[in-house]
């Protein structure tokens, strides 16, 4: 066992790595399951590649999500404010997750389907007559942000400002810029919560504020309420935006698979799962920290708060788990993909993301039978950083 690992500088790979990280991950996987890397954001981490090692790391309680366990030597800026399920370990994590888990069951989410279809139809009614549009601006962003705002009961959200702050905080390569955007987003959320407290309704956010403002076992602290708002609003739309955009891009760059789906729209569920596997919206999950030395495949990652990231994008392209993994195949058996994580931090919003993607992509294809890219795939700009993956813009014509 060794901790002497050469530093792999991912930051030096530039836009080529941002656009297509899969060959780099595959090369690292061929050398071993964990590597000491410099991230595009500038700090160092231990990157776990491959399906087996990644799945094990995602579920290992030895890796903490609590930011109090981070080594100060890493100099990492924490993006989100407050305390949430993504920044806590049990038992705090268990308590917070229990408060909202009932809102995201498959049964509860399916009740939202008519409203999701209505929002989808309204967006397409506005977009389709134009004959061309940036799918991200016209469709992929406004759909999930509208759905999550209705679910939470915050129709007054300043959506364009919120989108800018969220994108910048999660994806900017400049730490100072990320910090400023995160600060403005937090300030906005504090004001939003105050407004919601004055104008409560029969919705999820009002329920959470009530839990924060009344005595009881499940009382939320102020920091927990801010963290929950961060999580539900940011994670509640960012992942679905990029699932829709990357999924449509995958179909348009694989015309045989697009033809299959058009011929049999009943394949939409399988197609969405393959989109999640092939190029999912979360490249690596939120941070985990070592609380003790952590061994992966003969390499020991030091304890003391080292940052560990799981390359979920690579786990989903591991040939040991998925034959011919770089082929986009909507009839593939995708069981076991890690696009939503694994273990106790498995994405609570997975049923909602799947529902929105199924409805959105199927409706788009029905309304636009001659849908096509309006730019060369290599010219598309991609989100920076290793957290959220997806095209910043997706010009289409029909």
**Is residue 302 in some structural domain?**
yes
**Is residue 318 in some structural domain?**
yes
According to DSSP, the residues that pair with 8 across neighbouring strands are 37
**What are 162's two structure tokens?**
């919120």
* Tens of pLDDT, residues 115-170: 999 999 999 999 999 999 999 999 999 999 999 888 888 877 788 888 888 888 88
Mean pLDDT check: name the lowest of 59-63, 140-144, 383-387.
383-387
Residues 6+ apart with CB under 8 A from 341: 58, 282, 285, 312, 347
Question: Which residues form the domain of 165?
Answer: 7-397
At 191, which CATH number? 1.10.630.10
Mean pLDDT check: name the lowest of 32-46, 119-133, 321-335.
32-46
Rounded to 5 degrees, what angle do the CA atoms 183, 356, 322 make?
95
**pLDDT in the model for residue 205:** 85
Residue 155 exposed, middle or buried by CB count within 10 Å (0-12, 13-18, 19+): exposed
* Tens of pLDDT, residues 110-127: 999 999 999 999 999 999
**Is residue 224 in some structural domain?**
yes
In this prediction, residue 1 has a pLDDT band, given cuts at 50, 70 and 90, of: very low
Give me the residue label for tokens 């694989």.
254
Closest C-alpha among 91, 87, 93, 90 to residue 287: 87
Q: How many domains are there within the chain? A: 1
* Tens of pLDDT, residues 215-248: 555 578 888 888 888 888 888 888 999 999 999 9
**Is residue 335 in some structural domain?**
yes
Report yes or no: 82 and 74 within 8 Å, Cβ to Cβ.
no
**Is residue 219 in some structural domain?**
yes
**Is residue 1 in some structural domain?**
no
In this prediction, residue 57 has a pLDDT band, given cuts at 50, 70 and 90, of: very high
What is the pLDDT of the chain when averaged over all its residues?
A: 92
CA distance 253 to 237: 24
**pLDDT in the model for residue 202:** 83
The CA-atom distances, in angstroms, between 235 and each of 229, 231, 240, 353, 371 are: 10, 5, 9, 10, 29
**Phi, then psi, of 54 in degrees rounded to 5:** -65, -45
**Total residue length of the chain:** 398
Residue 384 exposed, middle or buried by CB count within 10 Å (0-12, 13-18, 19+): buried
Closest C-alpha among 45, 48, 26 to residue 37: 45
Strands 132-134 and 44-48: unpaired
**What are 250's two structure tokens?**
């995958």
Residues 6+ apart with CB under 8 A from 372: 252, 396, 397, 398
**pLDDT in the model for residue 212:** 66
Helix axes 236-252, 350-367, angle to 10 degrees: 40
**Is residue 2 in some structural domain?**
no
Q: In what helix (H) or strand (E) does residue 251 lie, and over which residues does it extend? A: helix 236-252
pTM tops 0.85, yes or no: yes
């Amino acid at each position: 066992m060794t901790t002497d690992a050469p530093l792999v500088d991912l930051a030096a790979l530039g836009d080529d790595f941002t656009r297509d990280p899969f060959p780099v991950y595959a090369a690292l996987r061929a050398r071993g399951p964990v590597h000491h890397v410099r991230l595009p954001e500038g700090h160092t981490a231990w990157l776990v590649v491959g399906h087996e090692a990644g799945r094990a790391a995602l579920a290992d309680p030895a890796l903490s999500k609590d930011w109090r366990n981070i080594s100060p030597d890493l100099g990492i800026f924490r993006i989100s404010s407050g305390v949430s399920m993504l920044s806590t370990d049990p038992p705090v994590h268990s308590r917070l997750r229990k408060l909202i888990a009932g809102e995201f069951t498959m049964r509860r989410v399916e009740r939202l389907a008519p409203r999701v279809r209505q929002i989808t139809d309204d967006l397409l009614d506005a977009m389709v007559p134009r004959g061309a549009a940036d799918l991200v601006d016209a469709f992929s962003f406004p759909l999930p942000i509208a759905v999550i705002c209705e679910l939470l009961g915050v129709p007054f959200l300043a959506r364009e400002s919120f989108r800018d702050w969220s994108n910048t905080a999660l994806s900017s390569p400049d730490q100072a810029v990320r910090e400023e955007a995160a600060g403005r987003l937090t300030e906005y959320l504090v004001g939003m919560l105050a407004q919601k407290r004055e104008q409560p309704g029969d919705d999820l956010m009002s329920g959470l504020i009530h839990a924060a403002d009344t005595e009881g076992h499940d009382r939320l602290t102020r920091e927990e309420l801010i963290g929950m708002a961060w999580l539900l609003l940011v994670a509640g739309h960012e992942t679905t935006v990029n699932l829709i955009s990357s999924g449509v891009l995958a179909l348009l760059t694989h015309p045989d698979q697009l033809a299959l789906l058009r011929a049999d729209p009943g394949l939409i569920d399988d197609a969405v799962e393959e989109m999640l596997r092939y190029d999912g919206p979360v490249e690596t999950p939120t941070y985990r920290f070592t609380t003790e030395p952590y061994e992966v495949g003969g390499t020991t990652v030091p304890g003391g708060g080292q940052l560990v990231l799981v390359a979920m994008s690579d786990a989903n392209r591991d040939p040991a788990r998925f034959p011919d993994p770089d082929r986009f195949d909507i009839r593939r058996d995708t069981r076991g993909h890690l696009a939503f994580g694994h273990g106790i931090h498995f994405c609570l919003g997975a049923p909602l993301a799947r529902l929105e993607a199924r409805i959105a992509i199927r409706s788009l294809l029905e309304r636009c039978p001659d849908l096509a890219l309006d730019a060369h795939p290599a010219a598309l700009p991609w989100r920076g950083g290793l957290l959220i993956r997806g095209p910043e813009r997706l010009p289409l014509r029909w």
